[in-house]
Amino acid sequence: MSRFRNQESMMERITNLETHLREICYNLASYSRKIAKTRDEGDLLASSITKFAEEENVNSSLRYALTHFADCFSAIQDQRNTEEETRKGLLAKTKAGDIARSSSINEIHNAVKMYEFQIDRFEQRKLSDLKKYFKELIQIEMYFHAKSVEILTKAYKEMVDVDEKSDLNSFRNYFGIKRTQSPIKDNRLRGTKIGSSKMATSLRRFSSSPEVSSEKTQTSNVKSKSDSSESEDEDEITAEDYQNEVSIKK
């Protein structure tokens, strides 16, 4: 009875393994197709950058950088193609292993007496194959990304070397544009000057108006009167002091 239960649990284990492996193969194939589509789109992008660089006849450093950037980006897409081909080979190996496992199931069904040996061999092969295939998949991805980092580092250096000042001077010389002050800044300065001149004119007009002049005259008259009264008071105080001193001496 226990032998039958062990056989049943082993069959269930194999069935689950086949189900999951089938799903893994399907998703791996879908992943490869999407990578291939990304590679095609990357080729189109590299081609458009190359065309733009070819038509740039003024900014020499930008043209040089874009040309090499397009070459690097195209090299990455070639690397994607290599990765895709390697992954397809891995997918074929996985499917072949799946077929071998199916034959193992048939052998188990046909030879119940030898099922322990078959199950043991099947488990050993499963572990070996899964370890091997996933190691290969990781190596493919690692190699692709390491190579991509190397190529992208070179492309980044090319973009850093773009001489903006030199290209801007080339553009100005090519089209005969002189480097002048910004029109917006000139307008601001002109507006400030106009505002200050208007303010000075309004102040002059205000100071020359009759009302202001009359107020100034009245203010000056009041000030002169106050000054004269203060002087008279000082004279009276001085005379009184003199008389007091004379009386004291007597």
Look up residue 96 and give its two tokens.
Answer: 């072949």
The C-alpha atoms of residue 97 and residue 71 are separated, in whole angstroms, by 39
Taking only the tens place, the pLDDT of each residue in 173-206 is 988 888 765 555 556 656 666 666 666 666 566 5
7 Cβ contact partners less than 8 Å away, ≥ 6 residues apart: 108, 112, 115
Helix (H, G, I), strand (E, B) or coil at 58: coil
Helix (H, G, I), strand (E, B) or coil at 57: coil
Residue 157 pLDDT exceeds 90: yes
pLDDT category, 156, cuts 50, 70, 90? very high
Q: Sort 65 into a burial class: Cβ within 10 Å, 0-12 / 13-18 / 19+.
A: buried
* Span of 107-111, 121-125, 202-206 with lowest mean pLDDT: 107-111
Q: Sort 13 into a burial class: Cβ within 10 Å, 0-12 / 13-18 / 19+.
A: middle
HEC states along 193-244? HHHHHHHHHHHHHHHCCHHHHHHHHHHHHHHHHHHHHHHHHHHHHHHHHHHH
Give the residue among 74, 6, 2, 9 at the shortest CA–CA distance from 40. 74
The C-alpha atoms of residue 99 and residue 22 are separated, in whole angstroms, by 11
Calculate the average pLDDT of the chain: 73
